[in-house]
A and B are shown apart, each in its own frame.
Chain A
Amino acid sequence: MNARSDFAPAYTADEMMTVTAAQQLRDGAVCFVGIGLPSAACNLARLTHAPNLVLIYESGTVGTRPGVLPLSIGDGELAETADCVVPLPEIFAHYLQGGRVDVGFLGAAQIDRYGNLNSTVIGSYAHPHVRLPGAGGAPEIATFAREVLIVMKQSARSFVPRLDFRTSCGFLDGAGQRRARGCPGSGPRAVITDFGVLRPNPASDELELTALYPGVTLEAARAATGWPLRVASDLERLAVPEPADLDCLRDLHARTRAAHDKPVRITLPA
C-alpha cells in the first residue's frame, strides 16, 4: 500500500503524523484528547511549544500533565497529575456542551470527503462485517468543540466515497450545510494522515490535500484516497521533523513503555 519509493527517512510515519498533529495546537488552547496518537501529539505539544495547553480527557481529568502516556482514557496517571477530576457527566455537559473546549481530536475507521466519520460498523448495521467500538464521545466532540482535528492513516479503504455509517458529523454534505444547521463548532480544521494534511475548502467544505510529507508522492496520496482527491493550488511540502521534537517524543514513548511494563502487585490482608 505504501508507495514511498526509495526514500528511507530516519523517522516513522507515526512519528511524522504525531509531530504534524502537535504543530496544529497553539499554546493555551483547551484540548479534548483522545487516546493513542492524539494523546501522544497533545503531550508532545505540551512538552515543546505549548506548555500551557490544557488537556481534558473524557474520564473527567481536567488540566492533566501526565509524565507517561496513558494506555486507557482513565489511567491513574491522568488523575494524579490533573488540576481537578470531575464526574463524567460534567465533562460532557459543563465543559464540552458548555462551549469550553477549543480543539477536539478524533480518529475513525472511515472518513468521507466532507470529514464525516464512521467508528461504528463496517458493513450493514444489522449484520456488520466488522463491529467497531462505537461512538463514545465522538458525536458530541464533533459537534461542540470549536474546531476538530482528525488523525487517521490514509488508504482507499478508510478514505471512502460513502460511509457505511455516519457516527459523527463533519461538514455533512458540504457547501455550508453544517453552518446552516446551526452546529455550534466549526467542524474539522485539518485531517492529519500518514501522507500529509488535508483541509476543507472554504467554499465547498470538501477536504483537499494541502501538504505532503517529505518523500511522499502526490500519486501515492491520490491512490490512498477512495474519491478523486482535490489538491490545493499552493500544495505545501512539509519539512522533516525537528530532531528535538523526535527526541522528546521518543523519550515519552520510552518512559511510557517502561511504566506499562511494571508488574502490578496487590497485598491482601492476612
Chain B
Amino acid sequence: MALMKLAEAIEQHVRDGQSVALEGFTHLIPFAAGHEIVRQGRRDLHLIRMTPDLIYDQMIGMGCASQLTFSWGGNPGVGSLHRLRDAVEKQWPHPLAIVERSHAEMAVAYQAGASGLPCGLMRSYVDTDLARLPGAHVEEIACPFSGDSLTAVPAINPDVTILHAQQTDAEGNVLIRGIVGAMKEAALAARCLIVTVEEQVERLHADMNAIVLPRWLVTAVCIVPGGAYPSYAQGYYPRDNRFYLAWDGIARDRQVFRRWMERHVLAVRDHAEFLRALKVAA
C-alpha cells in the first residue's frame, strides 16, 4: 500500500485504453476519483460498473470511455442518464460500445474474477433477449451432477478497480461500512486497486466480521474527505438527493452539461475545491 495524493494515483495507475471499474452501489461512489480521471483527460477507457450513475454519465459525456459494461443505467428514482443515452442513441461525443448484463450476472462475474475462476455460474433465467445480445457472452450449460440448466458468465477482471471507503488505518488497511454492493468482489478481481477514504485513523475499530480490505491488497490509498459526494458515505454525510434531481436538468443539454463540467470539474484543482464551489463544504 502506498499513501498518495489522488492526482498521483490516477497519473500512475490509470492509463488510456484500460478497463476500469469504479464500484459502490449507490453508496460510496468514487466521484472524486472519476473527476480526477476527467481532469487528466483519460481516453478510450472500458468503464465497468453495475449502475453507471452520475459519475459515468459525466465521464462518458466528457469523452473518457469507448466501452461500457453495466447492468442498470438510469438516474435512480429520477429517470434517464442523458449523457449515456446520447452516446448510445446519437454517438455523442463519440460511439460507445455497450456490454449489457443483469445485476446477478455482474455480481457472479465479479465473484468469479475475485476467485480466480474463468467464469461463474448461476441458475438460468428463462428465455429473454438479453442472452441473444451481441457481446452477451453467456452460455447455457448442464450441471454435470444434476443435469440442471445453468448459465455460465465470464469473469470480470478490471485492470483497475477504484473504490471510496470510510477509513484507512496507519498501516493502510481499509474499512467499508454500510451498503457495500459488489465492492469487495470488484476489489479482489482487479489487478490494481485504488481506494479513496474519508479519513485516516490510528486504528480501525471494526467488528470482527466487518469488511476490511487488507493493506497488501491495496495499491494506493488517497485521503479524500467528501470523495463520494453527491453519493454518500454512511456515518459521514447523506446522499444529496437534491443534486441527483438537479442533474437531470444539467445533463439533458450538451452545452449546459459541458459548461457545468468545465466550471465544476475541469476548472477546479481537486475535490475539496469542487465541494466548496458547490457550497456543500465551507
Contacts and interface: CB of A to CB of B under 8 A. Distances in A.
B96 to A, nearest CB: 10
Interface string B262-282: 000000000010011000111
A228 to B, nearest CB: 25
B240 A93 contact: no
Interface string A140-155: 1011100000000000
Interface in B73-90: 73-74, 76-78, 80-81, 84-85, 88-89
B239 A71 contact: yes
Contacts of A207: none
A35 interface: yes
A260 B129 CA distance: 37
B63 interface: no
Contacts of B107: 88-89, 92-93
Contacts, number: 208
B257 interface: no
**Which bucket holds chain B's interface residue count?**
35 or more
A266 B179 contact: no
Nearest to B185: A89
Contacts of B100: 120, 134-135
A75 interface: yes
A132 B75 CA distance: 11
Interface size class of A (residues with CB under 8 A): 35 or more
Nearest to A69: B77
Contact of B239 (A75, A80, A96, A182): A75
Interface stretch (B10-18, B41-49, B119-127, B161-169): B119-127
B205 interface: no
Given A135-B102, A260-B245, 15 more contacts: A59-B26, A60-B181, A73-B25, A73-B76, A76-B232, A120-B130, A131-B84, A133-B81, A134-B72, A135-B103, A136-B71, A142-B125, A144-B123, A165-B129, A169-B126
7 contacts: A60-B25, A72-B76, A73-B25, A137-B102, A140-B125, A181-B126, A182-B149
Closest A-B pairs by Cβ, 7 of them: A74-B26, A133-B74, A72-B76, A136-B72, A89-B107, A71-B77, A92-B104
Interface of B: 25-27, 50-51, 70-74, 76-78, 80-81, 84-85, 88-89, 100-104, 107-108, 110-111, 122-123, 125-130, 133, 149, 178-182, 184-185, 199, 211, 225-226, 229-230, 232, 234, 236-245, 272, 275-276, 280-282
